[in-house]
Structure 1
Amino acid sequence: MYPATIQELEAILTIQDLCYHEIEPESPEAMVSKINISPDTCFVAKDTQGIRGYLLSIPASLGNPPQLHSDTQTLDQHPNCLYLHDLAIHPNARGMGVGKLLLQQFATTATQKQFKHASLISIQNSVPFWQKYGFSVISPDTALEKKLKTYGDNATYMECCLEDYFAKADKAY
């Protein structure tokens, strides 16, 4: 596991393009803004063949995820969770444990930063996948509902107590 940097941007954008079909991929500027705002919570998995997957996350507040397609990110003054913005694995690396490694790094980092919760927006019908890791669907308020619309028709906001994540993660793999 390695920190995501701007040097990996081309590979990250390629993987993003290969993985997302229901939403418009984010611009290079939007991806860079996430890496720059929280470099210690963004990771890549790589081997001798290059970048195999990435995970971008940002400290945030429960119920207040960052806007999709934003070229300028700002951190909440008092974040209470680690928001998992994007997890994508190159199609040629699926089934190799890359996602598991990235998710373990995410959960470990969240715990080290003393967050007790994680959040994400599930897209492309991935709710069952995230539920295996302890994430639960949360009914959005009006402000959150507005943000969810930018993530596509099937976007679902989810939260997880990190204790639940660690309890379920071993069983999910």
Structure 2
Amino acid sequence: MYDCAGCGRTRRGLFFGSGIGESQWWCFRCQSAEQRELIGALDGRARGVLSRDAEGIEWPYGPNIYVNMRADLLDWADAHGLKSGSTRCSSGLHWLDKGRCAVGECFDTPGFYDHTTTWRSRTTGRPVLVFNQPYGPPDVAEVRAAISEHPSLSAEIGPESWYGAGTASVYIWNDGNRSKTAGIAP
């Protein structure tokens, strides 16, 4: 919790504005009607894209408190035809490759794993992407080594994505499931 820009009190709320350093924290009590309407619209868009829990939409780290990241994440997921996935596999690679993790001791994650999310195809429901957003450029050799035991997987490194804050993008795709995802060519 942070100090509210409206009342100055430390209360539960969300950051509004563009960029991590430029956003202001507004507690739920002080949020404007427009801010509440925006939150409602984004939560509505998130249905069918993100999982839900007892408190509502399960926003990943970042969008859980930054409203602009919520919009960016949903635009990104829409563009790629994705919905959130989940796995107990710490790297997500066994899940991505085989649809499950049967390794039992899958505890290691490569150094480029940060702000990691797992994604399924909206059309087939199959695992299609493990997405990482590390700070700074990832080591290409480390990315290749991470997927080397999984011939059905490929990796792409790109510029900043929905997390922002100077992060890069590491897309690890299941190519067999990728071609079945709307809007993405293998």
Judge same fold: TM > 0.5, yes or no. Answer: no
Larger radius of gyration: 2
Structure-1-length-normalised TM-score: 0.32
Q: Which has the higher helix share?
A: 1
Structure-2-length-normalised TM-score: 0.31
